[in-house]
Structure 1
Amino acid sequence: MDNFRIHSEIRAIYQFPADVFSNAQRRQGAVLLHIVGALYMFLALAIVCDDYFVVSLEKICKKLNLSEDVAGATFMAAGSSAPELFASIIGVFIAHSDVGFGTIVGSAVFNILCITAVCGLFAGQVVYLTKYPLFRDCICYTLSVLALIAFIYDGEIVWWESLVLVLMYFGYILIMKFNSSIERCLGGGCCEKATPNGSAFAPLENDGRFHGKYSDDPRKPLLSLGSTMENVKWLVSWPIVFFLYLTVPDCSQSHREKYFLLAFFGSTLWIAVFSYIMVWMVTIIGYTLGIPDVIMGITFLAAGTSVPDCIASLLVARQGQGDMAVSNSLGSNVFDILVGLGIPWSVQTLAVSVGSKVQINSRGLIYSVALLLGSVASTILAIHGNGWRLDARLGVCALLLYAIFVTFSILIEYNMFTFVNLPMCFKE
């Protein structure tokens, strides 16, 4: 077990193709190229998820006639969590490290706190939430975290533990199937949406933008810094957009809507490719800078892979659909833990190597997972104390809580509070 931990980072980097630069060359500045490559993959994942994958899933939700909160907690959550799932798969089957697990844990906290912060700060209006969907998703998420803590406590995952996680997700889907019936049975105040109570809304224009912030006349040049960033984004991302346009049908267009299943499978393939390159680059960066894989997952990868979640939640929040935005972030967490970890672990222990165990290298992860419970409780208390409103004040509070979580997670992994990790080994 200890030998596995000592050599985990070396094992991880040598599971990928050999880098053209030596470790010494990377330390002298070549690592910047890998950082740029990882950031470019984050952009690629955001584009393919937002423009193709999530759109195809929205068409599926439309065909199934799902309500907004159920769609957010299931299909929309699964769509925007695809990068985390593939990062976990790559961590188990290719890198053989904690990078995927760390990504799932960090992404879960990012989804709860950072997405809440972004929606609160940039929704452009005060969004009021319904109590029932939030409590439903928080309870399901809390049970998922408790199961994960129990299973990783001994530092390894056996076949039945991974299977329980997958079965729990089927139970979650079952709850979603009978969501309307459960809501009717509960009745009362828990199913009511908070009201403005005299507070003024700051409504958005039909196109989802702030009043008076941009010119509505397309003939007038847009000289603002937002417009500049859009131009830069277009210039940087056009190769990605071009290849996606050639290989994946855009089912958002009416004449291509019938190809939504083809768009689903095509975008899934691209997500797998982009995720592989992303984890490869991040593994090299972490090894070069002496940062454990789990920290790279909790921080860098978690933020990058959660961009689709953030974009999707912000878009629906700007349309006033707060329940869908929050259900998307919490539903993504349930998907990340039960499917993002459960599926790769189940395949490894039940199919690839029957009866084998998946080793959890970092003992610090159990403390980070335990902090997930604190993030859930903090979010619920903050929302309740804020009158079930998603606004700027709640956003600032959530952002501060996220900073606290990241700080403590990093300090734990570096053995600042207790000994959880053996030192990294380096090889030129």
Structure 2
Amino acid sequence: MGDSDVECRDLHTLNITDICAFVNATGDCQIDEGFINYNEFVYCQFSSHLVPLGVAILFIWWLFLFSGLAVTADDFFCPSLAVISRTLRLSHNIAGVTFLAFGNGAPDIFSAIAAIGSAKAGDAGLAIGALFGAGVFVTTVVVGAIATVHPFDAMQRPFLRDVIFYLGAVFWAFWIMWKKEITTYEAVGFILLYVFYVVVVIVGRLIYQRHRSTPLEGNSIQNTGVDSLSTSTALFADDESSPLLRPEVPGPPIVEIEKEEVLRFGRPHHEQETGAKAFFMAINPIDTEGWSEMRFYGKVYEVFKCPLMLLLKLTVPVVDEEEEDMKGWNRTLNSLQCFTGPTFAIFATDLAFNKLGGVFPVYGLVISIGGVLSIAVFCTSSADEPPKYHAGFAYLGFLVAVIWIYSMANEIVNILQMFGIVFNISNAIIGLTLLAWGNSIGDLIADLAMARQGYPRMGISACFGGPLFNLLLGIGIPFTIACIKNNGTYHLQVTLEEMFLAGGVAVSLISSLLIVPLSKFHMSRGYGVYLLILYIAFLAIALLIEINVIKNINH
């Protein structure tokens, strides 16, 4: 039996003293992308009786990376996309379902790219488990929780559109899994289906506006308040949801609520400070202004993420349109970021030591150009007001944030694969649970908060449109890359668990497609409880498949 036939999971058949040598000698135990070999860390850096300690340390590291993924997407990636949308003069319609949707789904998309990129022998179970696991979690637990907390009437046209599109995408993915291979054309087809969905959304919205007696105001992204709304809930809200900006229950408008939260807990505003003091305040990784108002767990989280926040602030420029005057401009910091951002990017992508023409290293060129740009920005700008080219920093921030997100997604995927090996759990179950929950818990918290404030329909808009976006691009982009690398066809290892995951999403969507219209589009508490029970049953059956009570079909 050759090394290619040996799986890393075979280490469970070995004596504990032989595992480290096995890990180092087995190709399946090595990482394709990333910076740390977590299998080697657990089994070679700790003695046999301390392996649980190594796993515990990596669990904390995994939590740190997950929080970093969320922070990078929310505080650095999405603001850049909003500015890019404005500078490209995109309407709210287009920006909402393209740039801002991509910002909200970035962690899921990059996790899928990382998982498929590191898949061994076509085992894409981690990516499939995460995409379908998150889908079934959001369409059952999140939708069910919203309906239970705040029963409401759903918007008919957007609901039917998103559920039907999502159901079609799930059936297409199921067919791909059934035949156990995907071609480049099929992978690109998922991307094109999303483009078609975007066209349907935009055309439908234009038709709806035309038939309204009073046209919607503020169609421009600058005037919609989209930056002030929670991205995950605002992206897929249709024009029919516009009246929902006025709460169904007494209370302050949600836009104002979120603006107050940004001012209290977001990036501090220091437009009146200049020089060294302004620089150190700008890179301060802890929100000192909101510290006194934070709860204990908020303070713990603030300290927990501060090392990463410091690195992000030093490398990723943010054009903050929440600020009326300076818009996040800091002459010293932005000049420095022209050097640190590109330098981080080439080292994170392993391009630094490549040689141009076989002679000059890439890092030398990038450092030289970055240094010149830093000096140029510092000499052509003022500390008192942002320069005319300030919006251009959003493009640099976008690129560097993408690399940060992809790098962290790679590490998260590698850690989860290590967990699967240590506990002898399939990648599909790891994706269904840890990765799916990690990517979806933010949606649950945000959408429940929306429901309690009187905006359940806005939360529901994201519960179907968001997972649809993640599924289409989470399959389309990484499998297009994989197919190109594999001569046009990527062969899949598919298990009963993965087929069941797709079936679980389909059952959830079909249930909603039948029950909601029959209930005259009223989402009742009974419907919410049904969805919650459905998820529990789904999870129980998935675990029964994992422990072979229900036999697997993999061969």
Report if TM-score (shorter chain) is over 0.5: yes
One-letter amino acid matched to 1:415: N
Could you say which residue in structure 2 is the equivalent of 1:343?
Answer: 477
Does residue 7 (structure 1) correspond to residue 13 (structure 2)? The answer is no
Mapped to 2, the partners of 1:243 and 1:378 lie a distance apart of 46
Could you say which residue in structure 1 is the equivalent of 2:249?
Answer: 201
What are the residue-to-residue correspondences of 1:404-415 with 2, within 5 Å?
404-415=537-548
Mapped to 2, the partners of 1:239 and 1:404 lie a distance apart of 40
Could you say which residue in structure 1 is the equivalent of 2:137?
Answer: 110
Task: Report how far residue 8 of structure 1 moved.
Answer: 7.7
Counterpart selection for 2:42 from 17, 21, 31? 21
What are the residue-to-residue correspondences of 1:25-424 with 2, within 5 Å?
27-61=51-85, 63-67=89-93, 73-96=97-120, 97=123, 98-117=125-144, 119=146, 129-183=154-208, 201-204=249-252, 206-207=256-257, 227-253=295-321, 254=323, 255-256=327-328, 258=391, 259-310=393-444, 313=447, 322-349=456-483, 351-380=484-513, 388=521, 396-421=529-554
Name the SS for the 1:357 alignment partner: strand
Contact 2:80 2:398 in 1 (8 A): yes
Task: Report how far residue 185 of structure 1 moved.
Answer: 9.0
One-letter amino acid matched to 2:486: S
Give 1 or 2 for the bigger CA radius of gyration.
2
In structure 2, stretches of 5+ residues that fail to align are: 11-26, 213-237, 260-288, 329-389
Instruction: Classify 1:127/1:92 alpha carbon distance in 2 versus 1 (closer, same or farther; 3 Å).
Output: same
Instruction: Classify 1:28/1:382 alpha carbon distance in 2 versus 1 (closer, same or farther; 3 Å).
Output: same
Name the SS for the 1:370 alignment partner: helix
Task: Report how far residue 91 of structure 1 moved.
Answer: 2.0
Contact 2:114 2:413 in 1 (8 A): yes
Instruction: Classify 1:241/1:289 alpha carbon distance in 2 versus 1 (closer, same or farther; 3 Å).
Output: same
Q: Deviations over 1:115-159 (max 9, x none)?
A: 33555577xx77654221111111111111111111111222233
One-letter amino acid matched to 2:40: D
Task: Report how far residue 270 of structure 1 moved.
Answer: 1.1
Task: Report how far residue 246 of structure 1 moved.
Answer: 1.5
Task: Report how far residue 203 of structure 1 moved.
Answer: 2.8
Contact 1:81 1:306 in 2 (8 A): no
One-letter amino acid matched to 2:113: I
Task: Report how far residue 6 of structure 1 moved.
Answer: 8.0
Name the SS for the 2:41 alignment partner: coil
One-letter amino acid matched to 1:132: R
Task: Report how far residue 287 of structure 1 moved.
Answer: 0.7
Contact 1:132 1:183 in 2 (8 A): no
Report the number of matched residues: 403
Could you say which residue in structure 2 is the equivalent of 1:212?
Answer: none
Instruction: Classify 1:191/1:279 alpha carbon distance in 2 versus 1 (closer, same or farther; 3 Å).
Output: closer
One-letter amino acid matched to 1:30: G
Could you say which residue in structure 2 is the equivalent of 1:426?
Answer: none
Instruction: Tell me the TM-score normalised to structure 2 length.
Output: 0.63
Contact 1:106 1:302 in 2 (8 A): yes
Mapped to 2, the partners of 1:4 and 1:421 lie a distance apart of 18
Task: Report how far residue 405 of structure 1 moved.
Answer: 2.1
Instruction: Classify 1:13/1:110 alpha carbon distance in 2 versus 1 (closer, same or farther; 3 Å).
Output: farther
Instruction: Classify 1:64/1:335 alpha carbon distance in 2 versus 1 (closer, same or farther; 3 Å).
Output: same
Mapped to 2, the partners of 1:27 and 1:415 lie a distance apart of 27
Task: Report how far residue 89 of structure 1 moved.
Answer: 1.6
Name the SS for the 1:157 alignment partner: strand
Mapped to 1, the partners of 2:5 and 2:156 lie a distance apart of 44
Instruction: Classify 1:300/1:82 alpha carbon distance in 2 versus 1 (closer, same or farther; 3 Å).
Output: same
Q: Percent identity?
A: 23
Instruction: Classify 1:60/1:141 alpha carbon distance in 2 versus 1 (closer, same or farther; 3 Å).
Output: farther
Instruction: Classify 1:13/1:325 alpha carbon distance in 2 versus 1 (closer, same or farther; 3 Å).
Output: farther
One-letter amino acid matched to 1:19: E
Contact 2:450 2:459 in 1 (8 A): yes
Task: Report how far residue 21 of structure 1 moved.
Answer: 2.5
Instruction: Tell me the TM-score normalised to structure 1 length.
Output: 0.79
Task: Report how far residue 278 of structure 1 moved.
Answer: 0.7
Task: Report how far residue 291 of structure 1 moved.
Answer: 0.8
After TM superposition, the structure 1 stretch with the greater mean CA deviation from structure 2, 359-368 or 413-422, is 413-422
Mapped to 1, the partners of 2:490 and 2:290 lie a distance apart of 63
One-letter amino acid matched to 1:203: G
Mapped to 1, the partners of 2:497 and 2:504 lie a distance apart of 11
Instruction: Classify 1:344/1:415 alpha carbon distance in 2 versus 1 (closer, same or farther; 3 Å).
Output: same
Q: Deviations over 1:62-97 (max 9, x none)?
A: 542224xx7554443322221222222222222333
One-letter amino acid matched to 2:59: I
